[in-house]
Structure 1
């Protein structure tokens, strides 16, 4: 398992896309901190990048990597190694490589210019978001055999979580404006990991004017540490559940 992880992580970190991704994050992050006098304003701009770019790269790179590594995975599956161990090793490798790239490109500038609770929270949630979308990507890739359809499905999932979901929630709020929907909004927010990361970040920043509908309701419902514990707990489920089902599918899949 260690040998597989070491080889795959090393291979991914040498990938031109990952190198370009890391450099891009590094340039944007340093650029925003240099332009803005107040670090908190830079973090607000970087939050938008976290909520869109990080899931996109994690989703597309992981999905394409799985499809392109089909023969390599088949070769490893033929070795005396459990399939569950193999699949988990691939997941760990992708999650670790993307997390390293994110930390270098995003985390280091944040630690230099804004090493406070807000900055640390954004680094942690960014890494969590990267890992969650690796898990979702593996789930997509293992259930959809066709590469084109799999990549398309992964892209649609990213689009749903980052754009469509909030539109649906706002539509629901406007349609049922006269009804108490606080509890429903809280439940709906848990169905979107991107929304949960936004909630955690904005609650930490305490920027009421910039809070969306779900964040405002969530903060009203859960105050103090309870909100953070619940949010991180649900994010952990978003990591575990897709990985669990993709591992089960891979274990029984005919390669």
Structure 2
């Protein structure tokens, strides 16, 4: 949950900047910009998903029960797609390669490390108030935390998370909670990509 997003976001960002001249050439042809952008997205998302499946999915299916393996592989692939989508957003905002890569790394740092620190600070400051249920909503604002909680709940370690773990298990452990969690992760893929597409279509290359 740390390395997979980092590899996805860095590889995608660097690839887009290295392919900038080729993309400019394609835009000069009678091809719609949205087709160019979605083709890039499908190609990079597919390669990241296949790489994750071969690296983590195959061993999981061999050594773990199929239902748990399927859930963990699905979550891992979705996280890869989320950070591919965020990389597209970073690359579409600025033409400067260094700024784009820096922005991608900052996004990864925020979701992987800084977000947890902010949540811990919030929990500490509001420890006298019942904010456990509010934590479900806060968790939805970080794809890595959402994926981490889903994996922990399916590994049956929610008891180690105390009362908050019980709240998470009650919500995310149900079928409706799982559907909502996967829907939220899908939104994390769709929304940054859609914003990047809008920027790319209006961009003067």
Please give the range of the TM-score, normalised by the shorter of the 2 chains.
Answer: over 0.9
How far apart, CA to CA, are the structure 2 residues paired with 1:87 and 1:186? 33
Q: Deviations over 1:78-134 (max 9, x none)?
A: 111110111011000000011111111111111111142222211111111111100
Q: 1:225 aligns with which of 175, 178, 181?
A: 175
What's 2:88 paired with? 138
Q: 1:157 aligns with which of 107, 126, 137?
A: 107
Moved over 2 A (4+): 208-223
Q: What is the Cα deviation at residue 213 of structure 1?
A: 8.3
CA contact (8 A) 2:13 2:87 kept: yes
1:224-243 to structure 2, matched below 5 A, reads: 224-243=174-193
- Whether 1:57 and 2:7 are equivalent positions in the alignment is yes
Q: 1:111 aligns with which of 37, 56, 61?
A: 61
Q: 1:250 aligns with which of 186, 193, 200?
A: 200
What's 1:194 paired with? 144
What's 1:172 paired with? 122
Query: Secondary structure of the residue that 1:79 maps to in structure 2?
Result: coil
TM-score (normalised: structure 2): 0.94
CA contact (8 A) 1:198 1:215 kept: no
What's 1:87 paired with? 37
Q: What is the Cα deviation at residue 211 of structure 1?
A: 3.9
Give RMSD over aligned pairs. 1.6
What's 1:30 paired with? none
How far apart, CA to CA, are the structure 2 residues paired with 1:186 and 1:224? 14
Greater RCO structure (CA 8 Å; 6+ sep): 2
Query: Secondary structure of the residue that 1:177 maps to in structure 2?
Result: coil
TM-score (normalised: structure 1): 0.76
Gap regions ≥5 residues in structure 2: none
